Amino acid sequence: MVLHNPSRDATSSSQRDVFYSCGHCGYALNLSSSDRNTAKIGVEYGKAIKKGVVSFVAIDESRFTQADELRCLPYFRSRRSWGLFRHQTRLLCRGCGSLIGVATYDGTSSPSSPSEGSSESNYPASSGSRKYKIKIGALQPSDDDSGTLLLD
């Protein structure tokens, strides 16, 4: 149980970052609360929270097993534009294999398809920005501050 300490350092203008681990096995995912996507907090954010999803702008991809999938369902990109094929990458815990969330490409341009028989992803992150949608129920706050050492 984490208790809030109201007597924190007065020189610190921001709250302390929270690091998350897998909610099933406790494997450190190096997800930081400072990397959450808070740019569009509003109605969309409220809807996502109700669905049990938190959006991140950056994650440590080495802490996840990634499984690419291609969906063939119509979806809307905007009011006047829609697509048929949607690529997403499932993010699985490297410790236990539990589904943590998905990574999708942001924007209207779709990256090239992966080559057949390839286990590695040919979807470069530089071709478009990625959005990471992480399931709240798949996370737990880390007990230690090991994540802060990685940032120093």
The confidence score (pLDDT) of residue 51 equals 78
Nearest-CA neighbor of 100 among 47, 25, 33, 18?
25
Strand order across the 139-141 sheet: 28-32, 19-22, 139-141
Angle at 144 between CA 151 and CA 146, to 5 degrees: 25
The confidence score (pLDDT) of residue 46 equals 67
* Pair of tokens at residue 8: 């924190």
Q: What is the dihedral of CA 21, 23, 25, 28, to 10 degrees?
A: 0
The confidence score (pLDDT) of residue 124 equals 43
What's the pTM? 0.64
The confidence score (pLDDT) of residue 24 equals 93
pLDDT, averaged per 10 consecutive residues of the chain (152 residues), comes to 39 67 93 80 69 86 92 79 85 95 70 40 52 91 57 39
The confidence score (pLDDT) of residue 147 equals 44
* Pair of tokens at residue 119: 């286990």
The confidence score (pLDDT) of residue 123 equals 44
What structural domains and CATH numbers belong to the chain? 19-113+127-142 (2.170.150.20)
Q: Which residue type sits at 31?
A: L
Measured distance CA(12)–CA(16) in Å, rounded? 9
Q: Which residue type sits at 125?
A: A
Contact between residue 130 and residue 4 where contact means Cβ atoms under 8 Å apart: no
